[in-house]
């Protein structure tokens, strides 16, 4: 599953890279960068004057080029990899969800009919961390309730670690994306001051290019961070819900084993 989503991430990255390359080829074919910006503005004005809207993908592509292919590409890479990891975690947690009430009823019925081995079979055929925890407890059913309880607690920690796997990387991309945007802001400001120094003038036309790069990269980094933060919080909420379900079902399972031993 992870390899599949990483493949999607690489495919998306290649798509964005191809768009960047085509955009750069179009830029090199023009006589000068300033003339391109003026032509783009004229096209936008023509669309606005004719009452037609500029397509969203075309507007995003234009802003991407204006923000600088270097920093904007890094920000997009953060978004692609972060989203791939987030989707993988969401699917993993979705498949980890178990109807614990039905599982406990099935285990209790199996214990009554076929004993420990039948209960193990039920747990093996049920997916999710709760069934795995029950199975580990049943493996030590002959060692007493205290050992079963300790085993459940220990293996519950293992299952929590598996559910939280990859969250640190998502948090890393949440931090890196705005940092890259702010770095682009600093570089844009440097370009603006270089333009002022070269022109010997502080008119708005001189500093507009650098300021535009600064603002676009900042906005891009913040948008990526906000998108990933929403998915991150959703994943944390799902993990909390599953952990509460695991704790509740583990207590009920221990009670069931005490009843079975008696």
- Domain ranges in the chain are 1-262
Q: Which of 26-35, 49-58, 99-108, 200-209 has the highest mean pLDDT?
A: 99-108
Indicate if the alpha-carbon torsion angle 41, 43, 49, 51 is positive or negative.
negative
In angstroms, rounded to a whole number, what is the distance separating the alpha carbons of residues 215 and 73? Answer: 16
Q: Across all residues in the chain, what is the average pLDDT?
A: 75
| C-alpha distances in Å from residue 207, one per residue of 60, 66, 201 | 22, 14, 9
Residue 38 pLDDT > 50, yes or no? no
The Cα–Cα gap between 239 and 18 comes to: 37
Q: Choose between 94 and 211: higher pLDDT.
A: 94
Dist CA 182 CA 217 (whole Å): 7
Select the more confidently predicted residue: 233 or 15: 233
Mean pLDDT is highest, among 51-55, 80-84, 143-147, for: 80-84
Percent of the chain with pLDDT over 70: 65
CA distances from 247 to 14, 34, 91, 164 (A): 44, 63, 22, 16
How sure is the predictor about 57, in pLDDT bands with cuts at 50, 70 and 90?
Answer: low
- Confidence check: pLDDT of 255 > 50: yes
CB atoms within 10 A of CB 11: 10
CA distance to 37, 51, 58, 62, per residue, from 43 (Å): 10, 12, 11, 12
Is 2 a residue whose pLDDT tops 70? no
Q: By percentage, how much of the chain surpasses pLDDT 90? A: 17
Q: What is the average pLDDT across 225-229?
A: 94
Query: Quick count: other Cβ atoms within 10 Å of Cβ 5?
Result: 18
Q: What is the pLDDT of residues 149-196, one digit of tens each?
A: 888 888 888 899 899 988 999 999 999 988 888 887 777 777 777 777
| pLDDT for the residue 25 | 40
Between CA 72 and CA 80 the distance in angstroms is 12
Which position has the higher pLDDT, 18 or 187?
187
Rounded CA-CA distance 144/204 in Å is 80
Bigger pLDDT: 239 or 12?
239
C-beta of residue 183 within 8 angstroms of C-beta of residue 205: no
The neighbour count for residue 168, using CB atoms within 10 Å, is: 9
Report pLDDT for 198: 74
Is residue 140 scored above 60 in pLDDT?
yes
User: What band does 22 get if pLDDT is binned at 50, 70 and 90?
Assistant: very low
Q: Which two tokens stand for residue 210?
A: 């650098």
Q: Give tens-digit pLDDT for 74-87.
A: 888 989 999 999 99
pLDDT at 232: 95
């Amino acid at each position: 599953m992870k390899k599949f989503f990483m493949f999607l991430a690489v495919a998306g990255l290649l798509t964005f890279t191809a768009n960047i390359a085509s955009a750069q080829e179009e830029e090199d074919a023009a006589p000068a960068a300033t003339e391109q910006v003026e032509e783009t503005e004229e096209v936008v004005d023509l669309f606005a004057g004719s009452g037609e809207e500029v397509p969203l993908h075309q507007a995003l592509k234009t802003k991407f080029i204006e923000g600088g292919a270097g920093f904007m590409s890094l920000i997009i890479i953060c978004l692609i990899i972060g989203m791939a990891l987030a989707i993988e975690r969401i699917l993993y947690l979705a498949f980890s969800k178990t109807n614990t009430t039905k599982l406990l009823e099935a285990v209790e019925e199996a214990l009554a009919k076929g004993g420990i081995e039948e209960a193990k079979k039920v747990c093996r055929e049920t997916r999710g961390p709760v069934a795995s925890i029950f199975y580990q407890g049943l493996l030590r059913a002959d060692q007493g309730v205290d050992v079963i309880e300790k085993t459940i607690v220990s293996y519950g920690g293992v299952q929590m670690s598996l559910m939280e796997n990859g969250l640190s990387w998502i948090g890393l991309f949440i931090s890196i994306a705005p940092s890259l945007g702010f770095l682009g802001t600093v570089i844009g400001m440097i370009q603006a001051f270089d333009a002022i120094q070269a022109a010997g003038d502080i008119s708005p036309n001189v500093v507009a290019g650098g300021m535009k790069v600064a603002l676009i990269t900042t906005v891009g980094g913040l948008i990526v961070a906000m998108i990933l933060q929403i998915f991150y919080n959703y994943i944390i909420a799902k993990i909390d819900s599953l952990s509460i379900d695991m704790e509740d079902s583990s207590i009920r399972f221990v009670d069931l084993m005490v009843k079975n031993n008696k």
